[in-house]
Amino acid sequence: MLDQSRRRNLSAAPFLEAAAGRTPSRTPVWFMRQAGRSLPEYRRVREGIAMLDSCFDPALLAEITMQPVRRHDVDAAILFSDIVVPLKAAGIAVDIVPGRGPVIANPVTTAADVAALPVLDHEIDEVAQGIALILEELSDTQALIGFVGAPFTLASYLVEGGPSKNHERTKALMHSDPSVWHALMERITTTVIRFLHTQVSAGIDAMQLFDSWAGFLTERDYRAHVLPYSKQILDSVAGMIPRIHFGVATGELLPAMATAGSEVMGVDWRTPLDVAASRIAAAAGPKVLQGNLDPALLFAGAEPLQAEINLITQQARTAIAAGHATGHIFNLGHGVLPSTDPQAITDAVAMIHQQ
Amino acid sequence: MLDQSRRRNLSAAPFLEAAAGRTPSRTPVWFMRQAGRSLPEYRRVREGIAMLDSCFDPALLAEITMQPVRRHDVDAAILFSDIVVPLKAAGIAVDIVPGRGPVIANPVTTAADVAALPVLDHEIDEVAQGIALILEELSDTQALIGFVGAPFTLASYLVEGGPSKNHERTKALMHSDPSVWHALMERITTTVIRFLHTQVSAGIDAMQLFDSWAGFLTERDYRAHVLPYSKQILDSVAGMIPRIHFGVATGELLPAMATAGSEVMGVDWRTPLDVAASRIAAAAGPKVLQGNLDPALLFAGAEPLQAEINLITQQARTAIAAGHATGHIFNLGHGVLPSTDPQAITDAVAMIHQQ
């Protein structure tokens, strides 16, 4: 049984009200990658500290998680972590190389590699301690969103050995040796669920399943080789906390992804919210929408930014009025870009709160 | 007036029959980037020769264009060139850096930069001579497809100064200073049309407008800031040769792109052909479909490859039977990956010809 005693009771948090399909006191907003390189205070505290080390330092990960909440008045904190944290904790040799991304020392290609792949079998205490520190500082209108990477994206890193432009080895494995593929996905899923449960027991208020690379799959590959595992992860915390499911460039996958069970669907900026809502509702009934400002609009100045925020809000309202969605959490349609001016983020949050 | 005297009369070429909406003697197939790094004979002839130099060497570009035709029995040659060739010929300082891509010495950011941007005002004789050599070698069942890059993709290279992951400077310019943006697109469009007309006068049998980065735009940005220029390019050869329009990850843009006027729409692998056909037909009436095998499937072995080819053929037939498409040219849903085994390509062509 999962320990749920640390869950806060936040009846007035706009993010949680919207995630539950109720009417929030204001349009809630948070931004993917709001904690990170766009903030000078982040670059300061990370100086000389490797990315993965910072994810295993309770005080530091809590500080980084809180920085954008203090600065931008967002309605939710997103746990500062990385999708490979549970792999590292399981004992897999992985490092995050600046300018490149996660690099795996021994890529997984054979059945023997999969059988030897370590699975996470313990709590990641540093993250649990970090979450406790974050919850002490958050107000009761501010939610803490936990975060895990989806098994397809993790599998791609493990098979390719690092970031890949085309994921050809991963797709080849999936098609040429499905039994090895499914064994790999099962092991990754066990690890991800264990890490997610650590976060839930530590008291996160919601979670996002982040599938960076799912948008590189056809819908049929996604359904056959990926969806069952993402569903297992979401199922493992069903009824406990609101669940968000997001992948980049997943317009064609929304109907499939919507059946994985989340209450909230994150939408990439390429798909208008009302179009996304129709696809989601047709596949799995109406859900709460999250998104979907193009991160590049934060570089365009106040007037185009305001126009785009108005348009996205209007598309969400159209979807809700049509019965295709049950709410809207404002976000980007992908993560904050590192060179974004932090003031543009603060300004966008203020504009969104006035909607 | 454009010189059309060199146009061949190929009444039995399966590619051209399909492109014209007639029934070809076999399912025509060619692969984007079929000429290039996957072939050992390509790596041999390129040894010690810079990419852009090879595009301005008539004998070499003809040889490279012909290599995959000789090896794979494809139904069309695609002119070996690069989207930045007309920029280079116009006098813009651009180089293709191995492992990185096109790099622009002086990125374009201001109205003055745009006003000073050279425009192509002459024939690119080396390419015309190369086309003449190719046409001598092709049989009358093999078509030569010419090729130009779309103005948005070229604008992104010019504004960002090189390949960009997120195109934030380009999008910021588009939104913050539309008059500078439109002036830039006009100059690029003039250059691209001039290069295309060189190819047409030299005798290409068809053309493809390739928009690598359009899939990074919302449909509304695409319609307002890009579509008019892509349409001008396609319009400039209307009624002369069949026109193909393709962009990567453009599922949401197909309705807009279809209105630019091409006879053939290239479809990325992410969107099933029957779904793509419905979107295209609703926006602009039924067209010929081109696509859309995931290039990664060429790494998966014969059985998964055959299954996928069957499925794609079936989706095309479904679209044609429903009146949503007027034909099918088989292709990948993006370019051949450099590490592809050439034998897998040859095998795929044989499988497709048996459909």
> Which residues of chain B does A335 touch, with a Cβ-Cβ cutoff of 8 Å?
none
Long-range own/partner contacts, residues B162-168 (CB < 8 A, 24 or more apart): B162/B97, B162/B100, B162/B101, B162/B102, B162/B103, B162/B104, B163/B100, B163/B101, B163/B102, B166/A295, B166/A296, B166/A337, B166/B216, B167/A296, B167/B213, B167/B216, B168/A295, B168/A296, B168/A299, B168/A337, B168/A339
Q: What local confidence, expressed as pLDDT, does residue B89 receive?
A: 98
Residue B1 has pLDDT above 80, yes or no: no
pLDDT truncated to tens, each residue of chain A (355 aa)?
A: 688 999 998 988 999 999 999 999 999 999 999 999 999 999 999 999 999 999 999 999 999 999 999 999 999 999 999 999 999 999 999 999 998 999 999 999 999 999 999 999 999 999 999 999 999 999 999 999 999 999 999 999 999 999 999 999 999 999 999 999 999 999 999 999 999 999 999 999 999 999 999 999 999 999 999 999 999 999 999 999 999 999 999 999 999 999 999 999 999 999 999 999 999 999 999 999 999 999 999 999 999 999 999 999 999 999 999 999 999 999 999 999 999 999 999 999 999 999 9
* CB–CB contacts below 8 A, A to B: 90
List the catalytic residue out of A6, A7, A46, A317. Answer: A46
CB spacing of A296 vs B269 below 8 angstroms: no
Sign for the CA dihedral angle at A245, A247, A249, A252 comes to: negative
Cβ-nearest to B175 among A167, A219, A297 = A297
Neighbour-count burial of B123, counting CB atoms closer than 10 A to its CB (0-12 exposed, 13-18 middle, 19+ buried): middle
> CB–CB of A338/A12 below 8 Å?
no
The residue ranges of DSSP E strands in A203-261, in sequence order, are 206-211, 243-247
Query: Which residue of chain B is at minimal alpha-carbon distance from A217?
Result: B270
Cβ-nearest to A252 among B176, B270, B311 = B270
What average pLDDT does the segment B271-290 reach?
98
- Catalytic annotation on B205? no
CB spacing of A297 vs B251 below 8 angstroms: no
pLDDT digits (tens, 9 = 90+) for B299-319: 999 999 999 999 999 999 999
> How would residue B235 be classed by pLDDT, with cut points 50, 70 and 90?
very high
Residue B320 has pLDDT above 90, yes or no: yes
User: Class for domain A14-353, per CATH?
Assistant: alpha beta
Q: Has the ipTM of the complex gone over 0.90?
A: yes
β-partners of residue A103 are A95
Tell me the nearest-neighbour CA distance from B83 into chain A, angstroms: 20
- Catalytic annotation on A22? no
Q: What local confidence, expressed as pLDDT, does residue B292 receive?
A: 98
CB spacing of B176 vs A301 below 8 angstroms: yes
CA distance B124 to B317: 40
Cβ-nearest to B252 among A270, A296, A304 = A270
- In the block, tokens 């069952």 appear at A228
CB spacing of A299 vs B172 below 8 angstroms: yes
Q: What local confidence, expressed as pLDDT, does residue A114 receive?
A: 98
- Helix (H), strand (E), coil (C) string for B294-335: CHHHHHCCHHHHHHHHHHHHHHHHHHHHCCCEEEEEEEECCC
Q: DSSP secondary structure string, A48-79?
A: T--HHHHHT-HHHHHHHHHHHHHHH--SEEE-
A95 phi and psi angles, rounded to 5 deg? -135, 155
Q: What local confidence, expressed as pLDDT, does residue B11 receive?
A: 85
pLDDT digits (tens, 9 = 90+) for B117-175: 999 999 999 999 999 999 999 999 999 999 999 999 999 999 999 999 999 999 999 99
CB spacing of A272 vs B218 below 8 angstroms: yes
A101 phi and psi angles, rounded to 5 deg? 125, -165
